[in-house]
């Protein structure tokens, strides 16, 4: 009897214990479920802004302009009626000509977030930085804007083992930096004849769109080049704020440039030099003078004015092809032959470095190049053998300001170690500004 009572009591305890475990388990499960529900409730879609719009408010469709596309075709493809398309085109044309959409350029459609997905806004990007908004969700209006741009200051240094492009490429730096450096030092250092062991240091600025999209090298703030054991400093300085004139000067405030650029194009090689006694086998080895300098370059490479001046001719002849002639002053004129296309008209004033056309093969030529011709006092001469005038010196009123400005930059340059293994990059970053 006693044993039976104990057994019954044990069973009861077991049931109570199991019930308690079940209760606790349920409570734990209920608590976990509440926590999970609570956690899920906190999570909300993160706002994503682009072009000034919250993209979460729309169905976003991205594409590029294809052959045969027009604004109307794109809108009709996305179920917008012709009367509305015509109304949008009429009201937007004062701000943006929708007929000028270029094949291959990206566009974005912001559509209603419903089953109709009706287009509400058309955004066209003619380049990486700029965009055009045609907004027709309320009133119809169009405007141009730019993406936020971040500028990051960087430093790089190295030692030449072969050439400047290779030295930078080993460090993962764009060859564009080499072009910019060769342009700065065009009249002081021949970059085609660098010596093994030459050293360089550069403070330059990289450009980023929307914080992450690399948009290339913006400019060079300062540079140091040691060529044949001789130091060459270069500092960027704005000489005229109103006109936005910027040039490079050395540590003594002397301009590094001349009144003329050394070459009108970023060229691969000089395929033919100025030579009054040139003989050509094709013409029976007879003397046929060449009064120009031929710079070989890829078709489409920009051709730049080598100095300020006025365009006197922008025309075509059978021998010259498409060509441009510029009068710089009463002494000097230049001519640029065999262009694919001109970018200037007669009577137009151009500044040194302005793009006046593009390399082509028009006229009497066997390969893509620009034939650069140079006149001094009405006579064609070899520009490389002329003592050309220096560029305009820095004014006396600005000289003191310039010398004060470059002091900390020179200290920064001097601290950069160029005596490093050329395969090791000495590269630091500094966010300097952000523009919108």
DSSP 312-380: EEEEEETTTEEEEEEE-SSSEEEEEEEEEEE---TT-EE-TT-EEEEEB--SS-SSSEEEEEEEETTEE
- Bridge partners of 189, per DSSP, are none
Provide the pLDDT confidence category of residue 183 given band limits of 50, 70 and 90. Answer: confident
| 179 token code pair | 């072009």
Segment (H or E) for 166: helix 164-169
Chain CA centroid to CA 357, Å: 19
pLDDT of residue 39: 52
> For 269-385, CATH number?
2.70.70.10
SS3 399: helix
Task: Measure the CA dihedral 261/267/270/271, to 10°.
Answer: -140
Q: Which two tokens stand for residue 221?
A: 């703030």
Q: Coil, strand, or helix at residue 298?
A: coil
Cα 95 to Cα 172: distance, rounded to the nearest angstrom = 41
The pLDDT tens digits of the residues spanning 112-169 come to: 999 999 999 999 999 888 999 999 988 899 999 998 889 999 999 999 988 888 888 8
Q: Measured between alpha carbons, how far is 121 from 4 in angstroms, rounded to an integer?
A: 85
pLDDT in tens, 3-37: 555 455 556 655 555 555 555 555 565 555 555 54
Q: Which region among 83-97, 260-274, 354-368 has the lowest average model confidence (pLDDT)?
A: 260-274
Cβ atoms of 310 and 326 within 8 Å: the answer is yes
- C-alpha to C-alpha distance for 147 and 228, rounded to whole angstroms: 44
pLDDT top residue among 255 and 388: 255
- What's the average model confidence in pLDDT over 81-108? 89
Residue 377 has pLDDT above 60, yes or no: yes
Q: Are the C-beta atoms of residues 234 and 256 closer than 8 Å to each other?
A: yes
- Pick the closest to residue 233 from 241, 244, 225, 243 (CA basis): 225
E strand or H helix at 32: helix 2-42
Q: Residue 425: its pLDDT value, please?
A: 37
Mean pLDDT of 54-69: 94
The boundaries of every CATH 3.10.450.350 domain in the chain are 49-146, 149-257+391-435
d(CA 256, CA 224): 12
Mean model confidence pLDDT for the chain? 83
CB distance 74 to 122 below 8 Å = yes
pLDDT value at 403 more than 70: yes
* Residue 65 contacts residue 107 (beta carbons within 8 Å): yes
Assign a CATH topology to domain 149-257+391-435.
Nuclear Transport Factor 2; Chain: A, (3.10.450)
Across residues 351-359, what is the average pLDDT? 92
pLDDT at 98: 84
pLDDT at 11: 60
- CATH classification for the domain delimited by 49-146, as one of 3.40.1280.10, 3.20.20.150, 3.10.450.350, 3.40.1160.10: 3.10.450.350
The predicted model gives 189-210 an average pLDDT of 88
Cβ(413)–Cβ(156) below 8 Å: no
Burial of 356 (0-12, 13-18, 19+ CB in 10 A): buried
Q: Is the pLDDT of residue 109 over 90?
A: yes
Strand partners, 379: 376
DSSP 2: H
Residue 1: is its pLDDT beyond 90? no
Q: Which tens digit of pLDDT belongs to each residue from 315-345? A: 999 989 999 999 998 899 999 999 999 999 9
On the question of pLDDT at 432 being above 60, the answer is no
Range with top average pLDDT, 135-144, 172-181, 274-283: 135-144
3-state secondary structure of 80: coil
Domain boundaries for CATH 2.70.70.10 within the chain: 269-385
* Residue that has been written with the tokens 């701000």 in this structure: 95
Cβ within 8 Å of residue 275, ≥6 positions away: 289, 290
Residues of the chain with pLDDT > 90, as a percent, come to 47
What proportion of the chain, given as a percentage, has pLDDT over 70?
82
Query: In angstroms, rounded to a whole number, what is the distance separating the alpha carbons of residues 309 and 331?
Result: 12
In angstroms, the Cα distances linking 64 to 61, 80, 113, 118, 126 are 10, 18, 22, 19, 11
Compute the average pLDDT of residues 354-380.
Answer: 92
How do 230-240 and 213-227 pair as beta strands? antiparallel
How confident is the model at residue 380, as a pLDDT?
Answer: 92
- DSSP class of 386: S
CA distances 26 to 19, 22, 39, 423, Å, are: 10, 6, 20, 65
Q: Once rounded to an integer, what is the mean pLDDT over residues 350-371?
A: 91
Tell me the pairing of strands 321-327 and 302-304.
Answer: unpaired
């Amino acid at each position: 009897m006693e044993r039976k009572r104990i057994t019954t009591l044990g069973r009861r305890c077991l049931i109570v214990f199991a019930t308690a475990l079940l209760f606790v388990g349920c409570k734990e499960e209920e608590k976990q479920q509440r926590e999970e529900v609570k956690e899920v409730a906190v999570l909300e879609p993160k706002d994503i802004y682009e072009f000034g719009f919250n993209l979460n408010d729309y169905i976003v469709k991205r594409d590029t302009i294809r052959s045969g596309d027009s604004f109307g075709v794109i809108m009709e493809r996305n179920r917008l009626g012709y009367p509305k398309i015509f109304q949008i085109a009429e009201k937007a044309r004062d701000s943006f000509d929708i007929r000028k959409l270029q094949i291959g350029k990206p566009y974005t459609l912001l559509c209603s977030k419903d089953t109709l997905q009706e287009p509400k806004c058309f955004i066209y990007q003619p380049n990486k930085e700029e965009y055009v908004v045609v907004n027709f969700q309320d009133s119809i209006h169009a405007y141009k804007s730019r993406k936020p741009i971040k500028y990051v200051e960087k430093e790089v240094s190295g030692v030449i083992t072969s050439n400047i492009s290779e030295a930078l490429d080993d460090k993962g730096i764009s060859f564009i930096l080499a072009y910019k450096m060769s342009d700065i030092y065009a009249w002081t250092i021949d970059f085609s004849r660098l010596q093994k062991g030459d050293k360089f240091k550069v403070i330059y600025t990289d450009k980023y769109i929307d914080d992450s999209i690399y948009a290339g090298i913006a400019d060079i703030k300062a540079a140091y080049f040691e060529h044949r054991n001789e130091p060459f400093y270069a500092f960027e300085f704005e000489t005229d704020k109103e006109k936005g004139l910027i040039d490079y000067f050395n540590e003594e405030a002397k301009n590094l440039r001349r009144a003329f650029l050394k070459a009108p194009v970023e060229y691969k090689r000089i395929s033919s030099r100025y030579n009054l006694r040139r003989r050509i086998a094709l013409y029976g080895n007879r003397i046929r003078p060449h009064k120009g300098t031929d710079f070989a370059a890829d078709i489409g490479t920009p051709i730049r004015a080598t100095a300020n001046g006025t365009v006197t001719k922008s025309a075509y002849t059978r021998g010259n092809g498409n060509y441009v002639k510029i009068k710089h002053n009463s002494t000097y004129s230049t001519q640029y032959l065999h262009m694919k296309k001109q970018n200037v008209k007669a009577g137009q004033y151009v500044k040194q470095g302005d793009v006046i056309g593009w390399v082509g093969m028009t006229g009497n030529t066997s390969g893509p190049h620009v034939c650069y011709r140079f006149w001094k006092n009405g006579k064609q001469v070899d520009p490389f053998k002329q003592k050309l005038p220096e560029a305009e010196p820095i004014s006396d009123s600005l000289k003191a300001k310039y010398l004060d400005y470059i002091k900390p930059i020179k200290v920064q340059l001097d601290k950069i170690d160029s005596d490093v293994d050329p395969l090791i990059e000495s590269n630091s970053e500094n966010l300097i500004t952000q523009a919108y």
